[in-house]
Each structure stands twice: as C-alpha cells, then as structure tokens.
Chains A and B, each alone.
Chain A
Amino acid sequence: MGSRWTGMFSSFLFLAVPVLGVATFAIAPAFNIWLPKDVSSHGATIDSLFMFILILTGIVFVITEGLLFWFLWKYDAAKATGPATYVHGNHTLEVMWTLIPAGILLFLAIYQMNTWANVKMRRPAMAPTLEVVGRQFEWRLRYPGRDGTLGTPDDLFLVNDLHVPVDEDILIQLKSMDVLHSFFLPNLRVKQDAVPGMKIPVWFKATQTGQFDIVCAELCGWGHYKMAGQITIESRKDFNAWLESMYAKQEATQPEQAAVALAQ
C-alpha cells in the first residue's frame, strides 16, 4: 500500500507537529503573544506554574510525538522487511507508564494547592475596599464615602473606572445585577465570575502603578464584547487625591441621589 515516498512524507508531517509546536511557543513571546505583564503579588506563582506545566507537558509532547514519528519512519511496510512483531503488550511497561504519570500528576495536584488557597481561599481579614457590580454592559463601582464604610449614604458611585492603591491588599466584593459576568484583570491574574444573588470576595495586591484593562470574560449578552473597564493602580497619595476629587464631584452634581440609590 503506497510507496516509500508516502511513508516518508507522512512521517515528516507527523514530525512537523512537535517541531512547529515547540517553535510556536518559542517564537510567540518575541511577538508579544504571551502572558501579559504581571503586576500582582500572586501572579508570579501562577506564571511559574504555567511555565512549569509548559515545560513538563512540552517534554512529554516532544517524546511521544517524536516516538510516533520514529516508529512511522522505521516501521513503514514499504521499508521494513519481515513480519511485524507479534506481541500483545508488556506488563512491566504498563505498570511503569501508569505509575510514573500517576506520580507526576499527583505531585502537580498537591504542588498547586497552596497557590490556589492563597488566591481563592485565604481572604485577607479586612473590610472590603469597594464593591464591583456587573451589569449589562458595564462595571458599576461603589467605594466607601468619607466615613470609610461601605453601605452608607455617602458612598461613591462610579462606572468602569477602577482605581486602587499600589502595594496594599485590595478586597473587592463582587456582585452582579442581572446575568453572569466575569471580572477579569489580565495583568493582575485575577478572574472571578460575578453571579446574581451571590457576593463573592476577590482579593489581590498590585505591585506596580499603571493603567490596565478590565475585561468581561463570561458571556453576558450581545454587548459582552464591549463590557470593558479600566483599572488604574497608583500610589497611596495619588489614590487619595483621586478619591477626594471624586467625592467632591459627586457631592457637587448629585448630593441626594446617592442617598436615594442606597435607600432602594
């Protein structure tokens, strides 16, 4: 069935899989098609876990795809002579290639638990910095007013323009008014669905100042694509000044409206 050329051509096609696969991942960072800049305190552990799994799976990928190529090349019926090896399996091999991956996978499972717990389970003991409410198709923000507590009449209401101080723990209370949304901060390695009827805590600590995207990552309707916000990370001093200017602005434009909104 087919000449040696078919076998050679096909084998090389299968060899191209690991070669081009690895090349794609190797070249991508040069085109900035890679993990976006991380400005969070916990992001480094996530990124290094990603890299660790990438290397681990990369090795398995190259070995298995390489073997596939090699076997296709070597055992092409148009090239190899004599009959195929008559063998139904090998007990030792089966045990080995069950136990070794099992060990690796179990290690991976245990190894990552601490990171997960830090990011999603060990909530800092503090009052929420602000409340974020998803709504078709915007992020509504609610900061404590001058009294410093959330849920009082002087709360500050903003849309899509999130500011946080750098190097401080931030605790967000995430809610949704209508459908599911997902609060995604690519540069802070934060993602959490907002679920109507639930108050979900989200926390992080930013390590650098700058402006970054807030992306909605859970389908929320026709305008999902434009449910964008911006997070500004700034020094404590700039943050306070910004907060002050926002308070002043709200008091000037809608002194009693905030109170009404709250009463509802």
Chain B
Amino acid sequence: MATATSSSTLVTGAALTASPNRQAPKPRPVMEFLSTYVFSKDHKVIGLQFLFSTLLWFLIGGLLALAVRWQIAWPWSDVPVLGKLFAQQGGQMAPEFYTMLFTMHATVMIFLVIIPILAGAFGNFLIPLMIGADDMAFPTLNMLSYWFMWPAFLFFGASFFVEGGAASSGWTSYPPLSTNVAAAPGSGWGQTLWLLGLTMVGVSSMLGSVNYMTTIILMRAPGMTMFRLPMTIWAMFITAVLQAFALPVLTAAGFMQLADRTIGTGFFSPEGNMVNNALTSTGGGQPLLWQHLFWFYSHPAVYIMILPAMGMVSDIMTCFARKPLFGYRPMVYSIAGIAGLGFIVWGHHMFISGMNPALGMTFMVSTMMIALPSAVKTFNWLGTVWGGRIQFTTAMLFALSFVSMFIIGGLSGIFMAATPVDIFIHDTYFIVAHFHYVLFAGTAMGVWAAIYFWFPKMFGRTMNEFWGKAHFFLTFIFLNGTFFTMHILGAVGFPRRLADAYHYETFHHLQPLNAFMTWCAIGMVASQIIFAINFFWSMFFGPIAGRNPWRANGLEWTAPSPPGHGNFDFQPVVYRGPYEYSVPGADKDYLMQTDPPNAAAAALAAAP
C-alpha cells in the first residue's frame, strides 16, 4: 500500500539504522490513522474532508442568514435563541450585530462553502477519477491545500469572539470603513482576522489550482484527449486557470489593506480622511483602488463559483436524459469565453462608485457580451433534454433546476449591466436576487445534484430517492419564495444591508412581503434536515451501489465504489467521448469511455 510506503519514508532515517534489511518499521496505529484519514494525501479522502468541512460551514452560514432575515422581517423584535446567546439590549439585535451577521454570512458562504466545495471537494474527488489517474500530480500540495483551510476556519471562527465582533464592512470590505478602526465595531480585530482568513483561503485555492491544472494536463489516461474530457473536468480546468490568474491580485490587495490597518500605509485612504472626528491617516491613497483590485479578483471569482457546477450539471443531465451533450465544443468554448471575458467586466460592480463614467460605459459593453456565452450554454442544455429519455432522479431534478434558475440569474444580470437601470437598482435587493439566483439557486442546487449523483462513488451506497425528492421539492419551492420576491423589492429600490428600512416612507409598506420571505427562508433551512438525515443514514445503511448505478459513461464509474487507493483496479484506456448515450445499434443505451470499440469485446466487457 502506498500509504505504508509514505509513512515509512517519514521515518526512513530511523528505519535505516534500526533494520538493515530495510523492512518498514511496524507502523504505529496512531500514525497509520493520521496518515490515512487526517493528513491523507489521497485525493478522495481530501475531497471528502473538504466536503464535510464545507457542509458544516454551510449550516453555519445558513443559520447566520436566518438571523439576518429575522431582523429584516421583524426589526428590533426579540430574536429567538440567538438573542439569549448574545444577550444584547434585551433579546433584540443591535444594528452593528446585524451588520456583522450579513458580512459573515456572505463571507462564510463564498469563501468557506461555495469556492471550497466546488474546487476542493468535487475538484479533488472527481478530477483523477474522471481522467483515469491514480491520484493528483502533487499529493502533498493537495493535502496542504486542505490544511490551509484550517487557519482560515480558525481566523474567521475566532473573529466572532474578539472585541468588537467579527468583520462588519460587508464581504466586499470597502475602505475606509474596513481600514479605519474607528469606523465600525467590527473594523478592529475582526477585520484583521478577516483579512488573514481570506489570505489563507487564497493560499489553499492557489495550491489546489496549480495541482488541478498539472493533473489535467499531464495525467490523463491513454486515449483521453482534451476533447474527450467530460464537461466537469473542462470546467474545473478553466476554473483553476481563473484562480491562478486572479488570486494574486486579491492576495496583494488583502496585504495592502492589512498594511493600511496595521502600519498606516494609506493605500486606500485619501488625504485628510476623518472618521469619527479623528484624523485617521496620512492619506495619499484612493478608496476606489481597493474596489478595482477586489473586483478584479471577485468578478472572475463569481465564475469560479459557478463554472464547476455548470460542468457537473452537464454530466448529470446527459446521463439522465440518456442523450449526448448537445454541442460539446460550443459548451467548452463558451466556458472559455466566460473565463476570458470575465477578466474585463469587473467595473460593472462600480458603475455608481465614482469611477469615470466613460469607463463605466466600456464595462457595460463587455458585461453585455458576457451574457452571450451564458445564453449559449443555456440553449445547449435545452438541446440536451430535447429528444431525451428523461429519468427524474433526485440528481436530475436538481440539475434541471440549476438550468431553470440560472436562466433567471442570467437574465437579471442584463438589467444591471444596463448602466442607466443600474443607477436605480444598484445596492438594492435586485442585486441580492441576482446573485442568489446564480449562487444559491444555481450553484448550490448544482452541488446537491452532484452530491446525489456521486454519493455512490464516494461511499459505495446510494441515497434514498424518496427523501431526496422531498428535499428537492421543498428546497425548490422555498428558495423561489425567498428569492424571487427580491426582484420586486429591488424594483421599489429597497436597499440591501439596512438593519431597518421601514422608517423610510418609500419602503414602509414592504414589511409584510419581507416577513413572507423570512418564513420561506426558515422553511428552506428546515428542509435541509431531510438532506442531513438522508446523507448520514445512506452513508451507513443505503443500498449498496455497485460500480455504475446510473449506467453512466464516465471513467469514474469503472472504478470500484468507493475506489481504493490508486483508484482503478485496471489501466483505463479511453476510446470515445463521455456522452455516448443511446448510440443506435449498441446493445445498451450507454457506451462507457473505456468500452472497446469492437462490439464483441463490448459485450465481453459488459458480461461481469
């Protein structure tokens, strides 16, 4: 076993002197356990470590969201549970606490859930399996990419308990609010820890990204040409490229903000900046500089947060439509197009920021154009279900809902890309609606699809279909109840990030609608109990899956479930693309990538 070899290399020095015949020393059980399950270098274990950690943070992020929704629906009323826990002003929520809640909700969801669950959990688990490799190119780097998340978990987690509380200048962390300690309670230690946490997430992503690119380029099985790669792998590959190019900018910007806060560099503070009646910096900087640097990363990052889901959904949809992917190459090119254009649209977050309006116009044109590859992908997904033989499994329902919801998120993007309209809807609930449609209704639903789909490969058992569908229907209904209504709130101009907007004449009448949305949000979070129980129950008691429960084509389905160390018990050789479903004349409605071309041989291979 490779695990034994690697643990013996750790103690080679001692082994050499102790046993001349180079027998591995008797592995101590603790070390054995640590190297197999904790500091494992196996991509599957690392993937599952990412999965469990991010699901836990998903729960925390969801509860933070409920607290936020509580305040929006019933401002200043006593908060159940939380009010007692953080006893403030009786049981009610202080406005600075509310500010901290939405900041940390977004931070947790983006940096500790969505990004690591896509690249970290699924990237890790799926890439070697789907390209026919025995592991990642750099297993140690891979292990480190997970363990660098822990300092981030600790920094973000600890920041809730420091003086002034966690960061509270929004997940975008705009200076001077974020750089001046006097500007907000959370702009003290909370913000410093936030920046450190962000840096650690960045290190983790970067280690992963280098590894994914190398693995996909160098370690494909014989016959697995680039244009035979499943969409999941293409998406992971392009995501990794995006990470590698965009992340350094965020890391640098984070350090600049850290320096502004700690040693008074003033990169982002203008001359004579007064906060709370105190002159707080020497100046010489520009607040807008942060916004440019931040969005230069964070716009590509929104694609980092959806491209892998798009890839996985494509694979799941073809399998349950029993049909080849419609327009494989256009699908690949449009992902590449999104990635390329993604680097020249960041200014659409800054139309109203004070940036030169002529520059805004330029960003408007590029932003309009980025809707195009998204449209092409949508049409191709529709083309994929057209003429299929659709099997309504839980995974398929989640994948279909990804498409249905992504349409809404993509179309609302066009409103905001239209600069004159954005004047009115910028920083309103229209924006909140947009990104929840792409990130929650899109990506999170895609992630559920992926969990239901690859669960058998991860744990060797399938999840319960009945409860899976119950989970789907409830989530789908409640999510639309929560988020669709945000569009019309935005049409009124209802601003985001306000602890209480009802004292404004313009927004006074919107409380009942917000209360409805909060009820839906509560329902949505409650529905996840079904998922949690199904997940853990199925892990131990679900029906045994076998290698290929969905009769799918990908290489991962030729490996045992769950695959052992080294993944494949034979050398996979690839003969075709991943989407050969319902091939006329074939004796079954799927042709695996490894099935030999010759029909007789195919029958032979299918026999056991």
A interface, CB within 8 angstroms of B: 1-2, 6-7, 10, 13-14, 17, 20-21, 24-25, 28, 31-36, 45-46, 49-50, 53-54, 56-57, 60-61, 64-65, 67-68, 71-72, 75-77, 80, 83-90, 93-94, 97-98, 101-102, 105-106, 108-109, 112-113, 115-117, 119-121, 136, 177-180, 182, 184, 186-187, 189-198, 200, 212-213, 215-226, 228
Contacts and interface: CB of A to CB of B under 8 A. Distances in A.
16 contacts: A13-B477, A28-B488, A31-B509, A49-B421, A61-B407, A64-B407, A76-B390, A84-B322, A86-B323, A86-B583, A108-B414, A109-B364, A178-B176, A178-B275, A197-B270, A221-B96
Nearest to B103: A219
Given A101-B372, A191-B426, A222-B99, A182 B352 contact: yes
A231 to B, nearest CB: 11
B287 A180 contact: yes
Contact of B378 (A6, A64, A121): A64
Contacts of B361: 113, 116-117
B7 interface: no
Interface string B448-491: 00000000000000000100010001001100100011011101
Interface stretch (B23-31, B193-201, B302-310, B379-387): B379-387
Interface residues on B, range: 35 or more
Contact of A24 (B401, B488, B500, B505): B488
B354 A36 contact: no
A162 B213 CA distance: 57
B84 interface: no
Interface stretch (B57-65, B121-129, B167-175, B529-537): B167-175
B499 A224 contact: yes
Interface of B: 94-96, 99, 168-170, 174, 176-177, 180, 183-185, 269-276, 283, 286-288, 320-330, 352-354, 357-358, 360-361, 364-365, 368-369, 371-372, 375-376, 378-380, 382-383, 385-393, 397, 400-401, 403-404, 407-408, 411-412, 414-415, 418-421, 423-424, 426-428, 465, 469, 473, 476-477, 480, 484-485, 487-489, 491-493, 495, 497-501, 503-506, 509-510, 513, 579, 581-584, 589
Contacts of B582: 83-86
Given A225-B95, A226-B503, A116 B354 contact: no
Contact of A178 (B273, B420, B497): B273
Nearest to B371: A105
B442 to A, nearest CB: 13
Instruction: State the 7 A-B residue pairs at the shortest beta-carbon distance, nearest first.
Output: A197-B270, A85-B387, A222-B96, A89-B327, A120-B357, A1-B391, A186-B493
A1 B589 CA distance: 15
B497 A224 contact: yes
Given A14-B400, A75-B387, A221-B183, A178 B276 contact: yes
